[in-house]
């Protein structure tokens, strides 16, 4: 997970939110970042050609992520993602996605998908742990994760 702990950036974002009644909108952030003296300025690509290419990559990722097929499961049509991104693929330049059918039919890739799911459950709990209403969900996730912990250690997730 990419994070930003630059205090000047965080203060700038908080200031923008305060100016807009506690709401931080991306458009307001970009507007504030246009000022070359802003600590936000260097966080953006200002070359329009390069920025356009990066935006198209974001659009491609979105298209890949929303591509679903409907399969019949228990007499009900259920949407299933066609492509998934595994952690090792994301560590390569440009990332990558694999057909879910190939991942599910390969023992190693399927195990990687399970490891990724487990890591995402850990992150989910860290993100929402203050919500007591999800206590039962967290317990079920921890129970599921514990079944796999003996087989495979949990990777350090920040």
Q: What is the distance between the alpha carbons of residues 158 and 155, in angstroms, rounded to a whole number?
A: 10
pLDDT above 60: residue 153: no
Q: What is the pLDDT of residues 70-103, one digit of tens each?
A: 888 888 888 889 999 999 999 988 889 999 999 9
pTM assigned to the model: 0.75
Give 84's DSSP letter. Answer: E
Q: Residue 133 has what pLDDT? A: 97
H/E element, 141: helix 135-149
Q: Residue 72 has what pLDDT? A: 80
CA distances from 11 to 23, 29, 106, 119 (A): 14, 12, 47, 30
No. of helices (H) and no. of strands (E), the chain: 7, 4
Q: Residue 158 has what pLDDT? A: 43
Tell me which of 36-50, 70-84, 109-123 is least confident: 70-84
């Amino acid at each position: 997970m990419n994070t930003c702990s630059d205090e000047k950036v965080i203060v700038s974002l908080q200031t923008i939110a305060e100016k807009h009644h506690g709401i931080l909108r991306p458009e307001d952030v970009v507007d504030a970042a246009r000022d070359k003296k802003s600590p936000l300025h260097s966080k953006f690509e200002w070359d329009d050609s390069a920025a356009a290419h990066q935006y198209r990559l974001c659009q491609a990722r979105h298209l890949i992520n929303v591509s679903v097929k409907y399969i019949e499961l228990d007499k009900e049509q259920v949407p299933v993602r066609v492509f998934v991104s595994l952690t090792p693929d994301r560590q390569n330049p440009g990332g990558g996605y694999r057909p879910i059918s190939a991942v599910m039919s390969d023992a190693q890739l399927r195990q990687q998908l399970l490891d990724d799911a487990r890591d995402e459950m850990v992150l989910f709990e860290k993100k929402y742990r203050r919500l007591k209403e999800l206590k039962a969900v967290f317990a079920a996730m921890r129970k599921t994760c514990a079944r796999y912990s003996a087989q495979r250690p949990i990777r350090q997730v920040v």
